[in-house]
Amino acid sequence: MKKLVVASNNKGKLKEIREILKDKYEVVSMGEMGYYDDIVEDGETFYENALIKAKTISEFFGCDALADDSGLCVDALNGAPGVYSARYAGGHGDDKANRDLLLKNLEGEENRKAKFVSSIVLVKADGSVAQGVGETYGKIGFKEEGTNGFGYDCIFISDDLGVSFGLATDEQKNGVSHRYRGLIDLLKNL
């Protein structure tokens, strides 16, 4: 099976990518390959950030590298937190603080429509680039529900499933998630 390096050390993201691509690739993280530096994500779009990460790892190892940049876009907040989803509350990766701030910012708001967006970029060793995009729609709940997943999963109520991603099984979420749809779109574009 072909090895695919993912430009991430996010355990939740890696778990999902491994599960979704398990029949096609042996997925390894950049850390498992020996890359431990932070990659500065200073793009203004999900695509730009995914491209920065995939290109950095592809050039470093001279191999195909995949990156996902994704986030939550809330209608009532004009698309925020968007590309800043992982650092919405200030620190990078503080999921609880991010959820708490989002719920605070939505207090009294009736329109709780939201979507997760995922931009998947594959940079091949020869420098060529392929992209996939996936979205999944839902709404922001009023409180955390469930402990599965990561990030905003326990407050995002999926239109497809009728429950929060935090209550969904991995199999249920992976069948409708933005990341799943982005990976499927990428595979079609290869």
Q: Tell me the per-residue pLDDT of 24-63, one tens digit each, with 9 for 90 and over.
A: 999 999 999 999 999 999 999 999 999 999 999 999 999 9
Cβ-based neighbour number of residue 82 at 10 Å: 17
Task: Specify the higher pLDDT residue, 85 or 189.
Answer: 85
Report the length, in residues, of the chain. 190
Query: What domain range includes position 20?
Result: 2-189
69 is catalytic: yes
Query: Hunting for tokens 């609880």 — which residue is that?
Result: 96
Q: What is the pTM of this model?
A: 0.93
Residue 1 is predicted with a pLDDT of 82
Burial class, 175, CB count within 10 angstroms (exposed 0-12 / middle 13-18 / buried 19+): middle
What pLDDT band is residue 190 in, cutting at 50, 70 and 90? confident
| Number of domains into which the chain is organized | 1
What share of the chain in percent tops pLDDT 70? 100
The pair of structure tokens assigned to 79 is 């698309």
Write the CATH number for 59: 3.90.950.10
Calculate Rg over the CA atoms of the chain: 16
What pLDDT band is residue 91 in, cutting at 50, 70 and 90? confident
Annotated catalytic residue within 69, 95, 153, 185: 69
Query: Hunting for tokens 């398990």 — which residue is that?
Result: 22
Q: Which amino acid is at 93?
A: G
